[in-house]
Amino acid sequence: MQRLENYFDYAATTPILPEVRDAMNPYFNELFGNPSAPYAFAQRAFHAVCQAREKLRVHFNASADDRIVFTGSSTEAANQVIWSCVLDHWRKTGKAGTVLISATEHSAVRNTVYGLAKMGFCEAEIVPVGADAKVRCDILEEKIAARPILVSIIGANNELGTIQPVAGIAEICRAVQVPFHCDATQLAAHSLIDLQTAPIDYLTISAHKLYGPKGIGAIVARDGAVLNPMIFGGSQESGLRAGTENVAYIVGMAEAYRILKTDFAVRSAQERKIRDWIILGVLSEIPDSRLTGHAEDRLSHHASFSFRNVDSLLLQSALDQRGFAVSIGSACRSNQIRGQQQLIEIGLSPEWINGGLRITTGLYSTSDSAAALLAALKDTVRTLRSLTA
């Protein structure tokens, strides 16, 4: 039987908090109306969507004129931002503009930009990262002088945990009037982003990384930033995303962010305490192990490692058989890794690039479960190495 305290993949997704579920429940039942209809049943749902939008505006300290558009996921949100900027430039000039992305972007950004480049609508250019997975801002400044049409840099790396200097990147982009998109799917779940101090043009977020529902995301777009629909039909979301709004999930998303702000200090301290204990235990007790990503500027719940000459697919499978849920990278691709690309991008040598493991803590992690995971990890690594010795 699965035990929730043995779940260590909170970067992939999180369970819904009871308070979030309670906030959502009325919109599955008595408040089920379609927000676009004119009668009272519908208007109560419409007002719930409006209130949720304003709660997010307050949470991120967005300006009154900034647009908040609800989407089906942060992947959809990132796609809409990138497609909008690329096709707007194409429509105006008939030429393919350049999009700058980091070497360690999530596939939601990387594959979107590469896909548009393959179709001839843009050119993709990579900004490298250092050994700690931090974006090379010196190279970004060099490349941005050529005036790309968009810079898209992930706020915090989902596989390696490194937090990027988002405010600084935003200032670099603003200085030359190049729009900046930040995929904040992970960052927004473990920090309090203030859009007045970090002038990001496009922020894309989701709910399921911070104990909200899956299947809901949003774009926070600065006033005047180009944004066009990808889904056509009705005029929902101010004409930017057709389709009946997912009221219950929108309400759940806003509630998850409200709770994050209220509980932030306690939650992040709890995550960090167990995370740091795991990091210390792995590095001190398992030979030929190394922490990947930045040692300090990392998500509060995130520990990522590489184990020399270990096959991480076998490692993950063995730990799963012992009841522990961990990851070998992004959940979007963790079942097909052969040589983990992000480990290659940070310069690890061949004997290390297949041994990546991500352990992320959360509200239901305990000291006892972390100790049990460490014991299982030590034993499994030792066993796997003995089989290939």
Catalytic residue annotation: 332
Terminal C-alpha separation, the chain:
33
The C-alpha atoms of residue 162 and residue 16 are separated, in whole angstroms, by 25
The widest CA-to-CA distance across the chain, in whole angstroms, is: 72
Cα 383 from chain centre: 33
The C-alpha atoms of residue 161 and residue 158 are separated, in whole angstroms, by 6
Q: Which amino acid does the sequence have at 82?
A: I
Considering just the CA atoms, what is the radius of gyration of the chain in Å? Answer: 21
Would you say 82 and 99 are in contact if contact means Cβ atoms under 8 Å apart? yes
Cβ neighbours of 345 (radius 10 Å) = 20
Would you say 108 and 183 are in contact if contact means Cβ atoms under 8 Å apart? yes
Strand order in the sheet with 217-221: 67-71, 217-221, 202-206, 180-183, 150-154, 97-102, 122-127
Point out which residues pair with 358 in neighbouring strands: 304, 327
What secondary structure, in 3-state letters, does 15-77 show?
CCCHHHHHHHHHHHCCCCCCCCCCCHHHHHHHHHHHHHHHHHHHHCCCCCCCEEEEECCHHHH
The C-alpha atoms of residue 257 and residue 189 are separated, in whole angstroms, by 8
Which residue in this structure is represented by tokens 């480990």? 343
Cα 260 from chain centre: 16
Helical (H) or strand (E) element with 10: none
Both structure tokens of 230 = 């990808």
Coil, strand or helix at 342:
helix
User: Phi and psi for 260 in degrees, rounded to 5?
Assistant: -55, -45
Residue 110, judged by CB atoms within 10 A of its CB (0-12, 13-18, 19+), counts as buried
Both structure tokens of 130 = 């250092």
Q: How many helices (H) and strands (E) does the chain have?
A: 10, 10
